[in-house]
Amino acid sequence: PRLVRKWTNLSQQRGGVRGSRGEGETRLELDRRRIQDRIALLKKQLLNVAQQREVQRSSRLKSPNPIGAIVGYTNSGKSKLLNTLTRAGVLAEDKLFATLDPTTRLFRLPGGEEVLLSDTVGFVSDLPHHLIDAFRSTLEEARYADFLIIVCDASHPDMIATYTTTVQVLEDLGATDKPAIVVANKIDKVEDFFPLSRLKSLYRPVLETSLKTGKGVDELVDAIGETIHALNPTLTYKLPNDRHDLVAYLHRSGQVADISYTEEGIIVKARLAERFASSLSSYRV
C-alpha cells in the first residue's frame, strides 16, 4: 500500500500500442522487485549466520568447560557484566539492542576452574514475528548453555515485567530446565526498592550488583563457582591399568584433581560435564 500511495502521481496507463505500461506501474514493479530481492538476500545472510553459529556452538559443546549464557531484558547490563568478568571488550552502551551478535569468552574462577560465558541479544516483550528469525540463532545460545545468568535492571520502572518477559522467552526456547543465577543489576540507581522485594519473593536467591561500583561482583563469582560445582561434581573413577587412553580422555574432557596408580587400577578424581561423563559411567566408583 505504501508503494502504491508513493507513486499515485504517476500515470497507470498511457495511449499507444496495446499492452504498453504506464510509468507508475513500471516503477511499482521495480520497487517491489528490489524489496523482494533485498528480503531474499537478508534471509540468505541470516541462514549463513545461523550455520556459522551452529558450527561455533558445536565446537563449544566439545569443550570440557561449562557454558553459561548471560540473558535478560535489553539494556540491563549483560555486555558490561561480560566485560567486567572477562575483560572481553564487548560493545556496552546504554541503548536498546546494543548487542546483536553473541560473544563468548573464557572466564577463570579464583579456584582455577574455567567457564565459557556467552553474551546474548536483549529480550523484549512482544517481539515482532518478523524479527524472531533474525534473533533466534542468537537467543538459542541460552538453550545450549549449562546454566544461565539472568540479569535484571533493578532501576527499571517495571522490573518485574522485564523479568517475566525474560522467563517467558526462556520458556519459548525450552531453556528453563537448567540452573539460573538471578542478578539485580544497577542497584546504585534504585530509588524504589519495592519491585526488588517482589523479585526476591519470586526467585531466591537474587544477587544485588552494581557494575559501576563493583558491589556484588565477588558474590556473583562465588555463585558461578557453586553452580558449576553442583553441575559437575568431582567424581572418582577406577580405570584398568592398561587404559591410559581413558586417562587422556579425562584430561582432555574435564578437570583432573588427582590420579593414583595402584595394583587394582588407576584411580582418578575428576570433574567433567555430563555430556562427557556418561561414557565413563561403568568406571565410576
* Residue-level pLDDT at 269: 96
How many angstroms separate the CA atoms of 41 and 48, rounded? 11
Which SS3 state, helix, strand or coil, does residue 108 take?
strand
Among 71-75, 129-133, 246-250, the range with the most confident prediction by mean pLDDT is 246-250
DSSP 3-state helix, strand, coil percentages of the chain (rounded to 5)?
45, 20, 35
- Segment 89-114 shows an average pLDDT of 65
pLDDT at 216: 96
What number of other Cβ atoms are within 10 A of residue 209's Cβ? 26
Say yes or no: domain 63-231 is CATH 3.40.50.300: yes
Under the banding of pLDDT at 50, 70 and 90, the label for residue 92 is very low
Residue 261's pLDDT band (cuts 50, 70, 90): very high
Helix boundaries (H) for the chain: 2-6, 23-61, 78-86, 129-139, 159-173, 194-202, 217-231, 244-253, 274-277
Residue 125 in grid coordinates: 516483550
Residue 153 corresponds to which amino acid? D
pLDDT reading at 275 higher than 90 = no
* pLDDT-above-90 percentage for the chain: 41
Rounded to whole angstroms, the Cα distance separating 202 from 200 reads 5
Q: How many CA atoms lie within 13 A of 188 on its CB side?
A: 9
Grid coordinates of 53: 553459529
Closest to 161 in 3D by CA, of 74, 220, 68, 70: 74
Give the residue from 197, 121, 196 showing the smallest Cα distance to 154: 196
Give CA–CA dist 47/16, Å, rounded.
47
Task: Report the half-sphere exposure of 104 (CA within 13 A, side-chain side).
Answer: 20
Mean pLDDT along residues 153-171 = 91
Helix axes 23-61, 129-139, angle to 10 degrees: 20
Please say whether the beta carbons of 232 and 272 come within 8 A.
yes
Q: Which pLDDT score is estimated for 129?
A: 43
Share of the chain above pLDDT 70, in %: 74
Task: Please give the single-letter amino acid code of residue 193.
Answer: F
165 grid coordinates? 518477559
Q: Which pLDDT band holds residue 93 (cuts at 50, 70, 90)?
A: very low
pTM: 0.71
Residue 97 has pLDDT above 50, yes or no: no
Output 111 or 206, whichever has higher pLDDT: 206
Dist CA 156 CA 72 (whole Å)? 13
DSSP state of 241: T
Predicted confidence (pLDDT) per residue in 16-53, tens digit: 555 555 555 577 888 888 888 887 887 776 666 666 66
Cell digits of residue 30: 521495480
State the average pLDDT for the chain: 81
- Selection from 61-65, 132-136, 263-267 with the highest mean pLDDT: 263-267
Give the model's confidence band at 148: pLDDT under 50 very low, under 70 low, under 90 confident, else very high: very high
Candidate from 47-51, 138-142, 170-174 with smallest mean pLDDT: 47-51
Q: Which residue has the higher pLDDT, 125 or 46?
A: 46
Show me where the domains of the chain are located. 1-62, 63-231, 235-283
With beta carbons less than 8 A apart as the criterion, state whether 117 and 66 touch: no
Q: What integer is the mean pLDDT of 195-215?
A: 92
Q: Mean pLDDT across the stretch 73-88?
A: 87
User: What does the block give as the cell for 199?
Assistant: 523479585
> Can you tell me whether residue 94 is helix, strand or coil?
coil
